[in-house]
Structure 1
């Protein structure tokens, strides 16, 4: 059967002497695997379409449940700036690997496609990469069914008082319920407000948010605990990103 889809390359790997296999997050058909014959050759017509982060139109033939084979394609947005900058490439690689690993082929729909495209566009536009990435993580948690409860105490529903993050229970705990989770993470009101904003905000509406370094440190720890507790993914791209954040290249 012939398909024509719009998608973003979230994984690209060599296959044989001259071919590549790409995983593409599409706007209509979830994740699909497509072989691009001759993509590694110097004068390949579709070599650029096989590069990570590329958004394009993919026309391919697929029989049964196997890989598709590309017979036509056009680039919509190459996102080449992300590949040319090591720091930006690290953040973008984390975003696409997260999508690739967190969802089965038929679980990834148009919402995730739109959020990923907005994430890559935000990184390319020079917005704070940590804020862009944590907001994208929140969108992934939402799509996976693990979005934290940030509007009220996850245990009793209280909306006033002092709160901490219970990453284990999946939301904020008020001071009256602290005993429900001894491992809770103490958080500032700035952190709580930011995560409430993240729950409400679509990636496509993200402007330039100014966040204090102390709050960003809290945000990194809190989102890491939520992601590890509820998704539990070991991602090579995150390990590399962690290394870059500890020892940034000048």
Structure 2
């Protein structure tokens, strides 16, 4: 069967002497594995379609399992994300997180739009850490693990201060925080941003100025939420952490 889809390359691997196999996050058909013959050749007309983060139209034939590319056109290359080490690290984390959180046949229209907006925001020079934390929240939300941030998950109290309890699935007020000794204290800035992230579409993100202290709190919170509910060991996150230390 012949498929024509819009897709983003979220994984690319060598196959044989001259070929590549890419995993696409498509707009309409979930994740799709596609063989691109000759993609490793310098003069191949399809080599650019096999590059990570590329957004394009892909026409491929598939009978069972892996598809084979017939034709493709680039819509947005996102080449700047491959040219800068820090941007490549953040973008690699975003696509790997997407890949690991989705089943192959899962409906992906909104996932696709959010990932494309994430990559575009990184390429536009918006604060990469804020972009990624917002995207992490979208992944948690789409996976069914978004935290409750409006009221205490134990007693329903809406008056702070609060602590974040990933294990409890949201915030705990001062009266209930003793129920989770590992709950994370939330400063006012971090709490406001978490609530904003909980409801915000990636496509609406503007330029946000965030204090370093608040960003560090956000990082701790989002990492704990991801680790608790998704539990992925991501190579790209390990590299991103090493890069953060160097920078």
In the superposition, the TM-score normalised over structure 1's length comes to 0.97
Q: Distance in 2 between matches of 1:178 and 1:134?
A: 24
SS of equivalent residue, structure 2 residue 198 = helix
Counterpart residue number, 2:240: 241
SS of equivalent residue, structure 1 residue 176 = coil
Deviation per CA, 1:67-124, whole angstroms, max 9, x where unpaired?
A: 0000010000000000000010000000001111111112251111000000000000
**Structure 1: gaps spanning 5 or more residues:** none
* 1:107 maps onto 2:106 in alignment: yes
1:8–1:24 Cα contact (<8 Å) kept:
yes
Question: Across the two proteins, how many residue pairs are aligned to each other?
Answer: 247
1:164–1:174 Cα contact (<8 Å) kept:
yes
Q: Distance in 2 between matches of 1:108 and 1:239?
A: 29
1:25–1:108 Cα contact (<8 Å) kept:
no
1:11–1:52 Cα contact (<8 Å) kept:
yes
2:28–2:107 Cα contact (<8 Å) kept:
no
Q: How does 1:90-129 map to 2 (within 5 A)?
A: 90-129=89-128
Q: How does 1:169-248 map to 2 (within 5 A)?
A: 169-248=168-247
Q: How far off its partner does 1:53 sit?
A: 0.2
Runs of 4+ displaced beyond 4 Å: none
Task: Calculate the aligned-residue CA RMSD, in Å.
Answer: 0.8
Q: How far off its partner does 1:175 sit?
A: 1.0
**Structure 2: gaps spanning 5 or more residues:** none
Q: Distance in 2 between matches of 1:71 and 1:183?
A: 53
2:11–2:52 Cα contact (<8 Å) kept:
yes
Q: Distance in 2 between matches of 1:98 and 1:19?
A: 25
SS of equivalent residue, structure 2 residue 12 = strand
Counterpart residue number, 1:15: 15
Q: Distance in 2 between matches of 1:157 and 1:116?
A: 33
1:56–1:73 Cα contact (<8 Å) kept:
yes
Q: How far off its partner does 1:169 sit?
A: 1.0
Q: Distance in 2 between matches of 1:206 and 1:28?
A: 24
In the superposition, the TM-score normalised over structure 2's length comes to 0.98
